[in-house]
A and B are shown apart, each in its own frame.
Chain A
Amino acid sequence: MENSTVDLSAIERVEAARTAHLTAGAKPAKVLAHDVNVYYGDKHALQAVNVEIPDRGVMAFIGPSGCGKSTFLRCINRMNDTIASCRVTGKITIDDQDIYDRSLDVVQLRARVGMVFQKPNPFPKSIYDNVAYGPRIHGLTANKAELDEVVQSSLEKAALWNEVKDRLQDSGTGLSGGQQQRLCIARAIAVNPDIILMDEPCSALDPIATAKVETLIDELRSNFCIIIVTHSMQQAARVSQRTAFFHLGTLVEEDSTKTIFSNPKDQRTQDYITGRFG
């Protein structure tokens, strides 16, 4: 009992610290990339990317296919480590901590940086076990009741609870595509990450499911730093506050979404958003 009150006050303090930044207007960079280069074997996939990604809010990466936006996204939780031929240089920090530092445990990093993939990839387990997976492997909950609570709140945050609450033991793979993607979002939220990376999360979904996921992203942005890669410029305009435009492995321009879509500085950005290529 005493423990839980201590925990609560700790959470409140952290929350207060976070919101203090917001109200003060000074948005600190959550993710900071400095001179990031990525090579796949001999291919120089990403060249000298510098960007600051603020906490709380949605940052969209747009650009034509093969421009490196997904590659950069996968650098932020070091998913590129799973590709043998991939090499990353430069520096990426999250909360001033170098994530490519030798002493950093990639497992801890990924617990802080959640990811949602292009194609919904629920585990072939029950809906409950899908969401409980992260908390279980990181030992975030002490008992079944706490775990139940985390599962429920994650599903609620992912706007899926009402649809699945009566069949939590059914297989996650039996849900519709849109529900599966929201389940994957719930699964990512359940470990309480700071950052959620989304790699074209709606490209395999129909328009109605897409609308639900977009609404969800909009709701989540007050609690998380969300970085979304999207092919759809309308989607970027709808959900993001800041937008970065990638082209041929370079970050061409990064600004508030409004500026990028109304008054871009670079000609290539202008051409892309007006549909001249890509």
Chain B
Amino acid sequence: MTVVYFTALALLTLTAYVLASRRSVALSATGVRMHSLPAYHGLLAISLVIAPMLLIWAVGTPLVSQLAASNALTNFPAEIRNDALQAGSALREIKNLAAGQHSGDVSDALRAATDTYSAWRTSGNFLLLIIGLTAALAGIATSLRMVSGQFRARNHFERIVRIVLMACAGVAVLTTIGIVASVLTETIRFFFDPNIKGRPGILDFLFGTEWNPQQAMRADQGDIKSAYGFVPLLTGTLLITAIAMCVAGPLGLLSAIYLAEYASPRMRRYAKPVLEILAGVPTVVLGFFAALTVAPYIRGWGEALGLDVASESALAAGLVMGMMIIPFISSLSDDVMNAVPQSLRDGAYALGATKSEAIKQVVLPAALPGIVSAFMLAMSRAIGETMIVVMAAGLAANLTLNPLDAVTTITVQIKTILVGDQEFDSAKTLAAFALGFVLFFITLILNIIALRIVRKYREQYD
């Protein structure tokens, strides 16, 4: 049915365009001065077909299945209908049978219910098709009637375009709001829902120095209050991010300066894409590179110096993560430095500046807002990165600033908590949402700081 509906939609769209634009052409051939070009009359007609048909489908389809379901359930006794769980499973059986996937015995009531269900679905969908077609034809008729010399099809279509674009932007914004709201509700449940056993207080969570949610599965195991201490995760995350930024910051920025200012155009043409390939390496590949190649090397090197190095260390994860985010910094910084107008460089050269003076004192300050946002983007990537840390830094929530120890991060713990079968009302699972919320909050603060810096140092130049 859906296929038929959308085929009709496509055909009617085409028809609407052809009819309306033909009519406009014919009208102008008789000497009428047209306000809008034929294409705009056609496009307006298309919108008058697509909009009502999509709306009818979007509203009608769920309505039809709702009606079919509630009518089908009348075949069952009232106690089944009124119990949400039983009604739900009955409905699943009906749908399975209707789709021909039911196995096992079929009771009379189920058979009858399925027949009712299918009948309602069929007639409902048929009705939808009729309504949709009528609306589309009415749309075509209206648009054809509207074609005239004075009719401002172009301006009307422009307004429709604006609405469509607004809707697209709206989807992104609403999704964000939805995610934040859902994470926030679960976080509030984690902290305040009295039905959750073993939940910590907010202060225990934010300032606790021990993280051991596995221990808190049963109330008689360990001290529940101290099981959800967030501090080791935060220090672990910050430690690895700091190591990564120490690697990627200088390397990325300096290679950007080379690419933008010193490299010949030929060199730049080849070097830049190669550098960007690094950003395309899947993090899981980088992860086992870190775990199997870098970490043992660091360990061997550390032992040669007489240092005690864990086989999974923050340093290994941080180094490889730094490699991962170099392209973000270098490629974006290179772009913003290229956008600095040549006239500024000329101004510096004309005053007798050397190349490096011009770069240091004119190009870099002018490109600073862009460079800062490149750094911030790279840092958010590093904070949000999971795979490399899972593989190379381990799961032990050690509260340490020693880069040679194993540490763990917020993201890794979220992953560890949610892997496998979980009950969604245990403190352990909800802790993942609390971690997610804190992670979101940290990146939000970073972004706000970045925006402040950018605004403070942004200079107008053209």
Interface: A47 (CB within 8 A) = no
Which of A12-20, A183-191, A235-243 faces chain B? A183-191
Interface: A114 (CB within 8 A) = yes
Contact B344 A138 (CB under 8 A): no
**Number of CB contacts from chain A to chain B under 8 A:** 73
Q: Number of contact residues on B: which range applies?
A: 20 to 34
Q: A107-B354, A111-B352, A123-B366 are in contact. Are A184 and B459 (CB under 8 A)?
A: no
Q: A123-B366, A124-B365, A173-B461 are in contact. Are A114 and B351 (CB under 8 A)?
A: yes
Interface: A137 (CB within 8 A) = yes
Contact B347 A137 (CB under 8 A): no
Nearest residue (CB) in B for A122 is B347
Interface centre among B344, B350, B352, B461 (most CB of A within 10 A): B350
Contact A137 B350 (CB under 8 A): no
Contact A124 B348 (CB under 8 A): no
Interface: B341 (CB within 8 A) = yes
Contact B351 A117 (CB under 8 A): no
Interface: B357 (CB within 8 A) = yes
Interface: B98 (CB within 8 A) = no
On chain A, the residues within 8 Å of B350 by CB distance are: 77, 79, 110, 114-115, 117, 188
Interface: A125 (CB within 8 A) = yes
Q: A117-B343, A119-B343, A124-B366 are in contact. Are A108 and B352 (CB under 8 A)?
A: yes
Contact B346 A187 (CB under 8 A): no
Interface: A133 (CB within 8 A) = yes
A191, B348: Cα distance in complex, Å: 12
Q: A107-B352, A137-B351 are in contact. Are A82 and B460 (CB under 8 A)?
A: no
Chain A count of residues within 8 A CB distance of the other chain: 28
On chain A, the residues within 8 Å of B459 by CB distance are: 124-125, 171, 173
Contact B347 A121 (CB under 8 A): yes
Q: A107-B352, A107-B353, A171-B460 are in contact. Are A133 and B361 (CB under 8 A)?
A: yes
Chain A 86-113 near chain B by CB (<8 Å), digits 1 or 0: 0000000000000000000001111100
Chain B 437-462 near chain A by CB (<8 Å), digits 1 or 0: 00000000000000000000001110
On chain A, the residues within 8 Å of B357 by CB distance are: 137
Interface: B146 (CB within 8 A) = no
Chain B 321-345 near chain A by CB (<8 Å), digits 1 or 0: 0000000000000000000010111
Nearest residue (CB) in A for B358 is A137
Interface centre among A117, A137, A171 (most CB of B within 10 A): A137
Interface: B349 (CB within 8 A) = yes
Interface: B18 (CB within 8 A) = no
Contact A121 B344 (CB under 8 A): yes
On chain B, the residues within 8 Å of A123 by CB distance are: 344, 347-348, 361-362, 365-366
Contact B352 A117 (CB under 8 A): no
Chain A nearest CB, measured from B364 CB (Å)? 11
Interface: A134 (CB within 8 A) = yes
A109, B349: Cα distance in complex, Å: 11
Chain A nearest CB, measured from B454 CB (Å)? 13
A174, B341: Cα distance in complex, Å: 17
A124, B349: Cα distance in complex, Å: 15
On chain B, the residues within 8 Å of A138 by CB distance are: 352
Nearest residue (CB) in B for A113 is B350
A174, B345: Cα distance in complex, Å: 19
Contact A110 B346 (CB under 8 A): no
On chain A, the residues within 8 Å of B361 by CB distance are: 123, 133, 137
Contact A188 B461 (CB under 8 A): no
CB<8 Å pairs between A and B, sample of 20: A82-B345, A107-B354, A110-B349, A111-B351, A117-B346, A121-B343, A122-B347, A123-B344, A123-B347, A123-B362, A124-B344, A125-B459, A133-B348, A133-B361, A137-B352, A137-B353, A173-B459, A187-B347, A187-B351, A191-B352
9 closest pairs, A vs B, by CB?
A124-B459, A111-B352, A115-B350, A110-B352, A121-B343, A134-B351, A121-B347, A173-B460, A124-B366
Other than the given A109-B352, A121-B343, 17 more pairs (CB < 8 A) read A82-B346, A108-B352, A110-B349, A114-B350, A117-B343, A117-B347, A119-B343, A121-B341, A121-B346, A124-B460, A124-B461, A133-B351, A133-B353, A173-B459, A173-B460, A191-B351, A191-B352
